[in-house]
Amino acid sequence: MKFSKINQRDHLLIPLLLLIILILDWQIPLGHAVGICYLVPLILAGRSSSPRIVRLVAAVSSVLIVLGYFLSPPSIAPIAMVLFNRAVEIAVIGTTMKLLTGSRQEDQRLRATFEATPSGLLVADGMGNIILVNAGLEGMFGYTGDELIGQPVERLIPERYRGAHLSQRAGFSHSPSARPMGSGRDLYGLRKDGSEFPVEIGLNPMKTNTGMTILCSIIDITERKRVEERLLRQEVLHRVFEEREAVSRNLHDGILQSLYAIRLGLEHCRRLLATASQPALPEMDARIEDVGLVIAEVRDFMTGQDPPWARTLDLRTGIEEILQLHRGGERPILGLHMAGQDCPAGVSREEVKHVLYIVREAVSNAVRHASADSCNVTLASIEDRLRVTVEDDGTGFIRRAEGNGRGFGNMEARARQIGAAIDIVSAPGRGTRITIEMARREVHATS
């Protein structure tokens, strides 16, 4: 692809050729197709970047063909044949003019499109030498077109990649096809100032009269990479935050609740010791056993496991274990009630686990904060729904818009995670009722 302009020598040669052909036509008798020679200056004018020059030369040539008819010596050829020859010469000149101007206009359109493309465009020959660049590429790499024309394309590639690029270019020459360059690899361009930047390159081979050429489209993807890296960092931070929240929730709902229970037991032991030492011994033994359970919970937590009461597939068994952890001493009377079938089924392992964590938090709150005399857990199967209710007769509280501590927030988060509905109802002096309700499937899931 080449876009050249008429030079100063052509400006002088075209009128000189027109004059020489007119003189020849003047000297040669009519009947000879001297006018066809006007194609020479017309084709020479076709090298111009302006279609106006081509039209001007065609018009002058046509006038000179007519003028030559009157200046040429007489001929024995019939006048009709002479006029026919002159008409054919003018028609050939006109047709050639249309071809040349049409080709030139197409070249101009191609050049305008080539220059207006916002991405960098480069045309290289089969040897990898640059033969054409657009303004977008000049601005991208910091070179002028004159600095790049005739240079190998490796000049725009960081030096550490040039050796590999030579072999890759040779492979492309053997089987050329339109495709992205370096698929699956990070590509970089090298600016004139020595700085590097990430690029995306497309290759498109083109066959021309002079051989194979390759059109390369180059896009600076620096901003895209920056956005991708920022999104990746945000995603990593989001995952870290979620993991931290999960760790914090499990610590709060598991190990910390066990420690709170031990603390309450030890406080009870202290009160017993203040009056008589013997009744305190069984309570102290129970608390020592509780400490061992907490140590086991910590070990499970370090290995990513839930505590034993949260690993059961049976919701009733898990709740009974939770209530057992909070029985003894001066704790309120805890009870489990079944409404409907004896052992609710149709919930998955994950659903059982989160429901147990919610029940553990609710029972712990009743024991630690509510000064409750009793706390009851009720399991009920209602058609295709499973309902778990934890109700105490403690002091109650007022729900605040900003929340009532981390425990209630954890309950609601766990309910959302398994698609369950949770309702927390409480009022000062009227106790607290927490209800979890979820869909129950016909077959007990073990996932």
Task: Specify whether 203 is located in the same domain as 302.
Answer: no
Q: Is residue 323 part of a domain?
A: yes
Distance of alpha carbon 126 from alpha carbon 176, whole angstroms: 10
Task: Specify whether 166 is located in the same domain as 260.
Answer: no
The reported pLDDT for the residue numbered 195 is 93
Task: Specify whether 302 is located in the same domain as 379.
Answer: yes
Last residue of a domain, one of 174, 192, 220: 220
Residue 355 structure tokens = 């429901």
Task: Specify whether 288 is located in the same domain as 422.
Answer: yes
Q: Please count the structural domains in the chain.
A: 3
Residue 311 has pLDDT above 70, yes or no: yes
170-222 pLDDT per residue, tens = 777 777 666 666 666 788 999 999 999 999 888 888 776 667 888 888 888 88
The reported pLDDT for the residue numbered 4 is 41
Report the CATH number at residue 191: 3.30.450.20
How many of the other CB atoms lie within 10 Å of CB of 248?
Answer: 13
Average pLDDT over residues 18-28: 84
Edge-to-edge strand list for the sheet holding 333-339: 333-339, 374-382, 385-392, 432-439, 421-426
Report CA dihedral (165, 168, 169, 174) to the nearest 10 degrees.
Answer: 170
- Reported as a pLDDT band with limits 50, 70 and 90, residue 403 is low
CB 307 within 8 A of CB 261: no
pTM for the model: 0.42
Q: Is residue 53 part of a domain?
A: yes
- The CA–CA distances, whole Å, from 103 to 14, 25, 112, 209 equal 20, 30, 14, 15
The reported pLDDT for the residue numbered 404 is 54
Residue 410 has pLDDT above 90, yes or no: no
Task: Specify whether 248 is located in the same domain as 100.
Answer: no
Task: Specify whether 359 is located in the same domain as 273.
Answer: yes
Q: Is residue 1 part of a domain?
A: no
Residue 132 has pLDDT above 90, yes or no: no
The reported pLDDT for the residue numbered 446 is 38
Average pLDDT over residues 262-281: 65
Task: Specify whether 198 is located in the same domain as 299.
Answer: no
Task: Specify whether 296 is located in the same domain as 406.
Answer: yes
Task: Specify whether 305 is located in the same domain as 435.
Answer: yes
| Per-residue burial over 193-211, b = 16 or more CB atoms within 10 Å of its CB, e = otherwise | eeeeebbbeebebeeeeee
Residue 390 has pLDDT above 90, yes or no: yes
Q: Is residue 395 part of a domain?
A: yes
Does the CA dihedral 367-370-376-377 come out positive or negative? negative
Last residue of a domain, one of 67, 82, 116: 116
Pick the most confident of 13-22, 149-158, 231-240: 149-158
Last residue of a domain, one of 68, 96, 116: 116
Instruction: Report the candidate in 414, 441, 23, 69 with the shortest Cα–Cα distance to residue 248.
Output: 414
- Reported as a pLDDT band with limits 50, 70 and 90, residue 330 is low
CB 81 within 8 A of CB 35: no
The reported pLDDT for the residue numbered 142 is 92
Query: DSSP character for 152?
Result: B
Q: Is residue 333 part of a domain?
A: yes
Q: Is residue 249 part of a domain?
A: yes
Instruction: Report the candidate in 385, 322, 409 with the shortest Cα–Cα distance to residue 357.
Output: 322
pLDDT: which is higher, 121 or 285: 121
Residue 261 has pLDDT above 60, yes or no: yes
pLDDT: which is higher, 110 or 316: 316
CB 320 within 8 A of CB 312: no
- Reported as a pLDDT band with limits 50, 70 and 90, residue 447 is very low
Partner residues linked to 386 by β-bridges: 381, 438
313-325 pLDDT per residue, tens = 888 888 888 888 7
pLDDT: which is higher, 266 or 425: 425
Range with lowest mean pLDDT among 280-289, 303-312, 381-390, 414-423: 280-289
Residue 394 has pLDDT above 80, yes or no: yes
CB 437 within 8 A of CB 421: yes
Q: Is residue 317 part of a domain?
A: yes
The reported pLDDT for the residue numbered 156 is 92
Task: Specify whether 175 is located in the same domain as 322.
Answer: no
Report the CATH number at residue 236: 3.30.565.10
Distance of alpha carbon 92 from alpha carbon 317, whole angstroms: 103
Distance of alpha carbon 4 from alpha carbon 46, whole angstroms: 10
Averaged pLDDT score across all residues of the chain? 77
Residues of the domain holding 293? 229-439
Average pLDDT over residues 238-247: 73
Query: DSSP character for 49?
Result: S
Task: Specify whether 335 is located in the same domain as 300.
Answer: yes
Task: Specify whether 130 is located in the same domain as 188.
Answer: yes
Q: Is residue 424 part of a domain?
A: yes
Contacts 24+ apart (CB under 8 A), 205-212: 205/172, 205/176, 205/177, 205/178, 208/1, 210/125, 211/125, 211/126, 212/125, 212/126, 212/173, 212/176
42-67 pLDDT per residue, tens = 888 876 657 788 888 888 888 888 88
Instruction: Tell me which residue has tokens 């590097």.
Output: 196
The reported pLDDT for the residue numbered 444 is 39
Distance of alpha carbon 141 from alpha carbon 157, whole angstroms: 10
Distance of alpha carbon 187 from alpha carbon 318, whole angstroms: 57
- Reported as a pLDDT band with limits 50, 70 and 90, residue 445 is very low
